Amino acid sequence: MPTPITQRHNANAIRALAMDAVQKANSGHPGAPMGMADIAEVLWRKFLKHNPKDPKWLNRDRFVLSNGHGSMLHYALLHLSGYDVSIDDLKNFRQLHSKTPSHPEYGYTAGIETTTGPLGQGIANAVGFAIAEKTLANQFNRDGHEIINHNTYCFLGDGCLMEGISHEACSLAGTLELGKLVVYYDDNGISIDGEVEGWFSDDTQKRFEAYGWQVQTVDGHDSEAIGKATENALNESKKPSLIICKTVIGAGSPNKQGKEDCHGAPLGNDEIALTRETLGWTAEPFVIPQEIYDAWNGVAKGEVVQGNWQAEFDSYQKAYPELAKELLRRMNADLPADFEQKAQDFIKQCQANPENIASRKASQNAINALQPLLPELLGGSADLAGSNLTWFKNAKALENDPAGNYIHYGVREFGMTAIANGIALHGGFIPYVATFLMFMEYARNAVRMSALMKQRVINVYTHDSIGLGEDGPTHQPVEQLASLRATPNLHTWRPCDTVESMVAWVESLKAKTTPSALIFSRQNLPHQNRDDAQVANIAKGGYVLAKEQADLQAIIIATGSEVELAMNAYQELSGQGVGVRVVSMPCAEVFVSQDSAYRESVLPSNVRSRVAVEASHVDYWYKFVGLDGKVIGMTTFGESAPAKDLFNHFGITSEAVVSVVKSLI
């Protein structure tokens, strides 16, 4: 290996590891890591503030690889810098249970800040990181004590910029003046189908300048130019920065660089041999010369940087002990010590003071009650605050107050939800976002990602059924609840009144590793009477709301607005001597997680006459009623008419419940 070690040698280490790991796995994307190696070398060795020995250090810079298919770039960087990613881990690239899965996955690998792969969501996550940093800094920093002061760096490619979510997120980033967000665009002109100019001819520079970004264009293989552009980005305090890096995909491969051939397939042993020769890389596969390890190792520098920050934090802690304690609590994702007791008091108050109101209004009441206990609550809505009722008494919008607690996301459902994922991942906040349930569809993949990453993001979805009425089938959700409930590690709550709405909020806030979807009505819902035991059982996801008054013959299961129909049917059937009970099941996922004894006490297995009623798609409920049971709900799209007329038209009525129960017994 030539001496002294140069930046190009250090970058070639990335190229060698990327092509070796992809070849061994016989699967993967070598082109992006090889093309972006020079950019990565400059950023990680010269600018990135991090400590490989403490990947969760509070004030570290955040790095996001939005073009997550190039994951071997990230894994090579972690390995070379001194993170807990070994050569054996790289050899196990894309293998079962390895630390190096096909795309970067949060929680699998030290140093991975977010799960990327679905293109465009990484840049939206990065915007969330930058929002969290700026807001947290304004909430906690004091004169002479800048304890929150870090940057968010993001790599992205053509695919990320073609995805519409990049527009949503980057537009908002410019509006919010996220000056500590620095994005490097791997402008290599190649995607899986070939040269992108046939289907991607945007003027990216003008596009981002229109968003209010600082934009620079450099040769992505010129280390000095990359460094200067990065310095310029860091000197810009208000505008987020885009550095357009003109690169060659698969740089170093004599026969495949610049072509789609190296985008998503191994180079092949013969081409790797030629590439080694071209790069002057003489080491064997998966062997890195010690002098290059020495040049890359970020541990000593990281420990100095973190040590300096720790000294600053110690000084801050002495000057502002309560603030420091609060910051650490929030960054540890712990709720306040008195939260549980006060939350239970609110629930009892709701039961003691009945209100017949829409559950969306009950949700707003819950936010107003709980938010003063939780300064980390960072809310927002996709231009529907007045309809979702997510604005609260102490709300301060970020565009007016950088230390605020509310984000006007505009009509950006997908971007909003992915940004919230980034906020949650950053730490220090519990984000909630809101839109109509129908428009969850725009955000669907970001909801899935929060569930996959086990992030506490609360999704507020109102206007939950045909009950929203005249807006018609375009706005009336039918299949959305089934979609949410089918998502692993997601709690979907559909409360029937103020009490269940408060419980849904409390349990969602307590669910540290699970996102939630809170489903609320537009129309008013009646208060349901309960004793203390029933109130306590709401948190179990399903409970007996009305007990049978004779030998148990049938069970009615309902959620949300249809609990009222179930209770009306219960009164009529009980008056006729039918032994029927009503089970309210605001969160089926939580209910099925209870022990078998509790589930049996609510839904006795020997009672096969069961009816589920919900103004949503019927298929989901057969898991509870069985093939012998019946489900009253939707099998078609809705219609445009007043809500009462729609419920009658589709046969979702208490009379229908009575009739079906009788037919079963």
Q: Which of 113, 413, 500, 507 is catalytic?
A: 413
**Which tokens go with 12?**
């070639």
| Whole-angstrom distance, CA of residue 268 vs CA of residue 265 | 9
| Whole-angstrom distance, CA of residue 535 vs CA of residue 515 | 23
413 is catalytic: yes
Burial (Cβ within 10 Å: 0-12, 13-18, ≥19) of residue 325: exposed
Buried b / exposed e along 256-292 (16+ C-beta atoms within 10 A): bbbbbbbbbbbbbeebbebbbeebebeeeeeebbeeb
| Whole-angstrom distance, CA of residue 613 vs CA of residue 615 | 7
| Whole-angstrom distance, CA of residue 572 vs CA of residue 360 | 29
List, in sequence order, every residue forming a beta bridge with 461; answer none if it has no partner. Answer: 435, 519
CA distances from 417 to 212, 364, 381, 451 (A): 22, 19, 10, 12
| Whole-angstrom distance, CA of residue 525 vs CA of residue 544 | 19
| Whole-angstrom distance, CA of residue 23 vs CA of residue 102 | 13
CB neighbour list of residue 306: distance below 8 Å, 6 or more residues apart: 51, 54, 57, 59, 60
**Of residues 372, 363, 362, 420, the one with CA closest to residue 393:** 372
Residue that the structure tokens 């990680």 belong to: 44
List, in sequence order, every residue forming a beta bridge with 190; answer none if it has no partner. Answer: 195
CA distances from 550 to 474, 553, 655 (A): 44, 8, 21
| Whole-angstrom distance, CA of residue 475 vs CA of residue 469 | 9
| Whole-angstrom distance, CA of residue 158 vs CA of residue 11 | 22
Phi and psi at 377, nearest 5°, equal -70, 120
Angle between helices 440-452 and 413-426 (to 10 degrees): 20
Q: Are 34 and 299 in contact (CB under 8 A)?
A: no
Q: Are 264 and 29 in contact (CB under 8 A)?
A: yes
| Whole-angstrom distance, CA of residue 608 vs CA of residue 611 | 9
Dihedral (Cα; 185, 176, 406, 415), 10-degree rounding: -30
Strands 194-195 and 214-219: unpaired
Q: Left, alpha or beta for 202 (phi > 0: left; psi -120 to 50: alpha)?
A: beta
Buried b / exposed e along 548-577 (16+ C-beta atoms within 10 A): beeebbbbbbbbbbbbbbbbbbbeebbeee
Q: How many CB atoms lie within 10 A of CB 187?
A: 20
| Whole-angstrom distance, CA of residue 409 vs CA of residue 631 | 38
**Which tokens go with 535?**
């109130």
Q: Are 402 and 396 in contact (CB under 8 A)?
A: no
Active site residues: 413
